[in-house]
Homo-oligomer: A and B are copies of this chain.
């Protein structure tokens, strides 16, 4: 991702946080993470986030999805004897379409990013409006996309080990690179 694109996405995320009345410190604002998952297509496949806390036991994040942006399909595997990450998504503002393993929904509100369909395999739809939430247990495939306004989503979870996440899209690199 080019530094100009990173800065553009950061500013848009800040606007969403402001609309959602989420207060961040100056350091948090400066350090917003923009994840493009190595696909260099961040407006369609990407995520903006602030990690509030990530200890050995607990993690909490505030995430922004820009309009119609998708966080691609992945799961949090068990690692040796330790169960994988368990996470609860709570929609704070906007609307999120979450897809999890289960009976595919007959009428789906959204689709995977065009051209990337082969990297998406779970289609049981859960719609989250503000105040609504859903818990993803370890090793469960899931992906999510925001509505036309974008969305702000709180995540409450066990420790976050992004590098251990398993994405269905084999092209993905979770740790973003910013080019100058």
Binding site for B on A (CB under 8 A): 20-25, 28, 52-53, 55, 57-60, 83, 86-88, 90, 92-93, 130-133, 135, 154, 156-158
Contact = CB atoms under 8 A, between A and B. Distances in A.
A67 B130 CA distance: 27
Contacts of A59: 156
Contact of A58 (B131, B154, B157): B157
A161 B87 CA distance: 19
Nearest to A26: B131
A25 B24 CA distance: 24
Nearest to A28: B131
A163 to B, nearest CB: 20
A81 B90 CA distance: 31
Nearest to A93: B23
26 contacts: A21-B21, A22-B92, A23-B93, A23-B130, A23-B131, A24-B131, A25-B131, A25-B132, A28-B131, A52-B88, A52-B133, A53-B88, A53-B133, A53-B135, A57-B86, A58-B86, A58-B87, A58-B88, A58-B156, A58-B157, A58-B158, A60-B60, A60-B90, A60-B154, A60-B156, A154-B154
